Amino acid sequence: MSLSASDGKVLVIDDEEIVRESMIQTLQLEGYEAVGFENPLAALAECSMGWQGVVICDVRMDRMDGLEVLQKILEVDAEIPVIMFSGHSDIAIAVQAIRLGAYDFLEKNDDPQHHLNTVKRAWKKRQLVLENRTLRQAVEGQHEIHNRLVGQTARITRLRETVIQLAQIDVDLIINGATGTGKEVVARCLHDFSPRASKPFVALNCGALTESIIESELFGHEAGAFTGANSKRIGKIEFASGGTLFLDEIESMPASLQVRLLRVLQERVLQRLGGNADIKIDIRVLGASKVDLRKAADDGSFREDLYYRLNVASIEIPSLDQRKQDIPILFSHFADLANQRFGRESRPVPESLLRELCSRSWPGNVRELRNAAERWVLGLGVDSDSDELSAEDTDGHLDELVASYERGVIIAALKANKGQVELTAEKLGVPRKKLYLRMKKYGIERSDFTQE
């Protein structure tokens, strides 16, 4: 049964136009989507881990030796079927090609039906490889994603299922969620459990950069494109080619850049600033927003055509207040991570504290809860207070800053433990004598924290 053009590609690499066109015609008549290349490097650019296709490559070419092409393709993906093709009956080269990893070796004067049968077997093998990878990634993802998107409520369970499903579908999408809900965590899961996992994951916060800077960050520039552009620079989009581009706070992207991004999404090409050449790219774009982009498009603050181009699929991340039953497991999880990070012994979280946390509202969502867990592990309580260093406190000599921070940690810990030095020393993980010396150094009196 013939394959349809949508089933994949066959790349024919041969520097002889007559041979190349003849093979392409034979394959196209059989229903394959066959593309010819005189330049092997251009064919190499088509190959990737998730590429659905087979390569037929001539052994003897002036521009690049066929065995070298074979090695370079297998460096991209060792399971891409490469059929070596020669007009000579060269047993030694055939054996070498098979040892290097070629799928098969054919002679150009063989029966065309034999050629087609070999391509058909190679394509079926490629299909099987990709299907097995997808299944394996889904199984591994189902296990690992529980450690990234933590929780047991129905909302978070549905979110995990949606992420695993959409990770396997190579489409651009929008991730909606309030600040601190974990939009980048979701984006990384979409990348890591996808066929693009071995390629770059590139993140850019559109709200953190000025218009002039974000344009160069996204598209790159040629030398001399503007004052200070002394050399060529590869932008985030180009660097992410083959992988995933994550654009956080995409609602903040300037209107002029929305137009340029739309062209990238439509045509999968870009031009660097100051350049005229179209550069082909292969990316998946994930746009994250804390506002409703549909409303933003209606209001005119976000391009409607860009919204529809991105919104092939969408993911809604629930706020922490919408899944409060997950707070105990989340807090314990973050506390365990903090213990590992700070080298502390793990201790159970009191039930009374977990109940109190569940009764609160969390406008900062999961990020705020994580910060609270880290403070608790350090003996600072779960609330942010004046004993912590603020951004305004970071001017001064390093020793003074360290001393100020240490004093604040000790005061907060004594306050949390009602002035009990022995218990405070235990919570801070230091000997009692060392704590007394620090208290003396900073003029801290235990009596200031004891209660009648």
- Domain boundaries in the chain? 5-134, 148-318, 321-448
pLDDT given for residue 4 in this prediction = 44
Q: What is the pLDDT of residues 247-273, one digit of tens each?
A: 999 999 998 899 999 999 999 999 888
SS3 of the chain: helix, strand, coil, percent, to 5? 50, 10, 35
* Cβ partners under 8 Å of residue 397, min gap 6: none
Distance CA 258, CA 393 (A): 38
Q: What is the pLDDT of residues 127-159, one digit of tens each?
A: 888 888 777 766 665 568 888 999 999 999 999
- End-to-end Cα separation, the chain, in angstroms: 89
Q: Is 436 exposed, middle or buried (0-12, 13-18, 19+ CB in 10 A)?
A: middle
Q: What is the pLDDT of residues 82-94, one digit of tens each?
A: 999 887 777 888 8
Range 266-272 contact pairs with CB under 8 angstroms and sequence separation of 24 or more: 266/309, 270/219, 270/235, 270/237, 270/238, 271/219, 272/219, 272/220, 272/221, 272/222, 272/225, 272/232, 272/233, 272/235, 272/238
What's the mean pLDDT in 38-58?
89
pLDDT given for residue 334 in this prediction = 92
CB count within 10 Å of CB 223 equals 12
Tokens at 229, concatenated: 């552009």
Taken in order 363, 368, 373, 376, the sign of the CA dihedral is negative
Taken in order 432, 436, 441, 442, the sign of the CA dihedral is positive
- Domain 148-318 falls in which CATH fold? Rossmann fold (3.40.50)
Distance CA 206, CA 235 (A): 14
Distance CA 452, CA 445 (A): 15
Q: What is the pLDDT of residues 154-211, one digit of tens each?
A: 999 999 999 999 998 999 999 999 999 999 999 999 999 998 998 999 999 888 777 7
Distance CA 55, CA 34 (A): 10
Which CATH number is 5-134's, of 3.40.50.2300, 3.40.640.10, 3.40.50.460, 3.20.20.70? 3.40.50.2300
CB count within 10 Å of CB 381 equals 16
Q: pTM of the full predicted structure?
A: 0.61
Same fold, 5-134 and 148-318: yes
Question: Which DSSP string corresponds to 415-452?
Answer: HHTTT-HHHHHHHHTS-HHHHHHHHHHTT--GGGT---
Q: Is 299 exposed, middle or buried (0-12, 13-18, 19+ CB in 10 A)?
A: exposed
Q: Are 207 and 249 in contact (CB under 8 A)?
A: yes
What is the average pLDDT value for the chain, to the nearest integer?
Answer: 86
pLDDT given for residue 147 in this prediction = 86
Asked if the model's pLDDT at residue 124 lies above 70, the reply is yes
Buried b (16+ CB within 10 A) or exposed e, 202-218: bbbbbeebeeeebbbbb
CA-CA distances (angstroms) from residue 376 to 229, 330, 331, 402, 409?
Answer: 47, 14, 10, 20, 11
Asked if the model's pLDDT at residue 368 lies above 50, the reply is yes
CA angle 361–363–367, rounded 5-degree value: 110
pLDDT given for residue 135 in this prediction = 72
pLDDT given for residue 392 in this prediction = 38
Asked if the model's pLDDT at residue 96 lies above 70, the reply is yes
pLDDT classification of 389: cutoffs 50, 70, 90: very low
